[in-house]
Amino acid sequence: MRVLRALNYQTAHCVVWNVDDDQARLYLATLNRLSGSDVSERRAALLENLLATFDINELSTLLPDDRKQIEELERLSRLEPDEFTGRITIEEKFEVSVILSFMLEESEAKEINLALDLVLNTENEKLSRSQALVHLARFYLGHCKPVGKESIKENL
């Protein structure tokens, strides 16, 4: 109510959804992604909670996350806290996998997939799609002129 008053609104249109807790968490996991970036820890906790009710196949069809992301989270959720500490050496620290997630228009996704396919087909070594994306990023960073006053590389 305070927000409505601060915005000088007298009324607000509301839609009430009659859902159980599991459905509410599923909607939360879907709708939060549409409005911006996630808080990683909260998203992981939410997905871990959903994995207690839904299997990976169901979640991969219902959520914007892909199956591999959900599988990796499920694998990590089974680890004990002491399995995380001391496992990664300094040398391995920068080899930890990070999940990147993008929402693209269909035409943009086609362009990106085409670019990744071109990298995969022109490289002599066997690459994964994620490695092909890194090749594209390195090519761009190595060949583009800086935008604005500072180089993008200086900000990395």
Tens of pLDDT along 80-124?
666 655 555 544 444 556 667 777 788 888 898 899 888 888 877
More confident residue, 113 or 31: 113
Q: Is the pTM of this model over 0.75?
A: no
Cβ atoms 30, 63 nearer than 8 A: yes
Sign of CA dihedral 142, 146, 147, 150: positive
- H or E element: which one contains 23? helix 21-34
- CA-nearest of 35, 115, 104, 114 to 66 is 104
Cβ atoms 23, 35 nearer than 8 A: no
Distance CA 44, CA 76 (A): 10
Confidence at residue 93, expressed as pLDDT on a 0 to 100 scale? 46
Above 70 in pLDDT, residue 153? no
The CA R_g of the chain, rounded to the nearest whole Å, is 21
